[in-house]
Amino acid sequence: MRPPREQRRAAVWGGLVTAVLAALIVAGSRNLNHFDAALVGYTFATLFAAFAITYRYSMWLQRPPTRMYWRRGWSVFLTPRFIGGNLVEAVRRLTLSFAANRFIFRRGRLRGAAHWLIMWGCVLAAAITFPLVWGWIHFETVPGRLDRYQIYLFGFPAQSFAVHSVIGFVIFHGLVWSALLVIAGVMLAFRRRMVDHAAVSLQQFAQDVMPLLLLFAISVTGLMLTASYTWMKGYAYDFLAILHAITVILTLLYLPFGKLFHIFQRPAQIGVSFYKDAGSREPAARCRRCGMAYAPAMMVRDLIGVERDLGFAYEMDAADGAAHYQEICPRCRRAMFGLAQAGAWSEGLTARLAGDKD
């Protein structure tokens, strides 16, 4: 049987992105000249992750509410009249929300600190390892200067630095710093998951605990590699290298399926904020029952469309023609909930009293 259209479309997008990444690996490593064969396992894991993440992202975008926000978000962001202000605002919101994690710190200081440490540790590690794995970055000694290294990015020479310098030390130990950040964040997150009653009752192993274990395993085995070659004359280095590779590859395989997929979903928050900006410039929808403003009219219109796409039938027969339940504000919905019960009891009591009289 042929898979549904959504799945075929998602598979095509997944295949396309994987093919582009593979082509970029070949181009960036200059026909694999700078590709490290020892990292081939990582490369295939990243290619698989690219396919699966794109597939899931595409499936996600095809859900009616997501599709609506995706289209509307880009449409309002790219409106020529507001594009300049939107670009400035996008930078500000990206900085506050993503670089500083402001909204997560507001949920809790320790929670914010844990996320911030894990996030920046992972960002730093990804910025180093992915280009290395794909052969997009490599180091060569400067001809005639054995004490200097030249960085090549995508095959083009970039900055050079002294091997035995502070910069050299910082660059060569980049993954150590990232591991320390991640371990500190994971410790804080695990502490919360052990003592917080809410977290204990809601957490699921595969969704909430597994990613922390994986990140911890990557960081610890990575640090053990450094410890092995720095202080232990390479003791058990091959074993540790394989162990580290297994943890990284497992995480890459887990990336599209579990909690870490929020890395790719989360930027939608910025699109939603511009959609809200556009909605606030329009007149608000007024409740059909109480007449009070309760939501942007654009949002209510779009939501009615989404609900119809999903098969909901909240249409009502009103005295003045067709109406929709979404045109009633949440407060009136709650009031009607109580009134419906009270009305039924009054009706019942009246019927009983009438019965008594008969």
Partner 1 sequence: MAKPAELHFFIDPNRCIGCQACVQACTECDTHRGESMIHLEFIDRAASTQTVPVVCMHCEQPTCAEVCPADAIKRTGDGVVQSARKPRCIACGNCVVACPFGVPELYEDRQIMMKCDMCYDRTSVGKKPMCATVCPSQALFFGTLDQIGQLRPLSEPVNQFRFGHQVISTRVFMMMPGGLVGHRPLVDVTAAMQDRPRERAIRLTPATTDPFSQVEV
Residues numbered 178 to 237 that lie near partner 1 (CB under 8 A) are: 196-198, 200-202
Distances (CA, A) of 134 to 140, 158, 170: 17, 17, 22
Please say which residue, 220 or 268, places its beta carbon nearer to partner 1.
268
User: For residues 327 and 287, is the Cβ–Cβ distance under 8 A?
Assistant: yes
Q: Report 101-130 residues binding partner 1 (CB under 8 A).
A: 103, 106-107
Interface size with partner 1, residues (CB under 8 A): 71
Please say which residue, 240 or 298, places its beta carbon nearer to partner 1.
298
Please say which residue, 126 or 318, places its beta carbon nearer to partner 1.
318
Q: How far is the CB of 319 from partner 1 (least distance, A)?
A: 9
Q: In what order do the strands lie in the sheet with 137-142?
A: 137-142, 145-153, 156-162
Closest CA to 238 of 230, 229, 247, 251: 229
Going by the DSSP 8-state scheme, the letter that residue 144 receives in this structure is T
Is 354 a binder of partner 1 (CB under 8 A)? no
Please say which residue, 154 or 314, places its beta carbon nearer to partner 1.
314
Stretch of 150-158, 214-222, 244-252, 327-335 lying at the interface with partner 1 (CB under 8 A): 327-335
Q: How far is the CB of 81 from partner 1 (least distance, A)?
A: 23
Task: List the beta bridge partners of residue 321.
Answer: 318
Q: What is the C-alpha to C-alpha distance for residues 286 and 337, in angstroms, rounded to an integer? A: 19
Is 347 a binder of partner 1 (CB under 8 A)? yes
Q: What is the C-alpha to C-alpha distance for residues 45 and 252, in angstroms, rounded to an integer? A: 6
Stretch of 2-10, 62-70, 125-133, 219-227 lying at the interface with partner 1 (CB under 8 A): 62-70
Please say which residue, 167 or 202, places its beta carbon nearer to partner 1.
202
Stretch of 133-141, 170-178, 226-234, 320-328 lying at the interface with partner 1 (CB under 8 A): 320-328
Is 16 a binder of partner 1 (CB under 8 A)? no
Q: How far is the CB of 70 from partner 1 (least distance, A)?
A: 8
Q: State the SS3 of 81-130.
A: CCHHHHHHHHHHHHHHHHHCCHHHHHHCHHHHHHHHHHHHHHHHHHHHHH
Q: Which of 180, 250, 295, 297 binds partner 1 (CB under 8 A)?
A: 295
Q: How far is the CB of 135 from partner 1 (least distance, A)?
A: 32
Please say which residue, 90 or 176, places its beta carbon nearer to partner 1.
90
**61: Cβ–Cβ under 8 A, 6 or more apart, which residues?**
67, 70
Q: What is the C-alpha to C-alpha distance for residues 296 and 281, in angstroms, rounded to an integer? A: 9
Task: List the beta bridge partners of residue 160.
Answer: 150
Is 305 a binder of partner 1 (CB under 8 A)? no
**Cβ atoms within 10 Å of 38's Cβ, excluding its own:** 9
Please say which residue, 135 or 211, places its beta carbon nearer to partner 1.
211
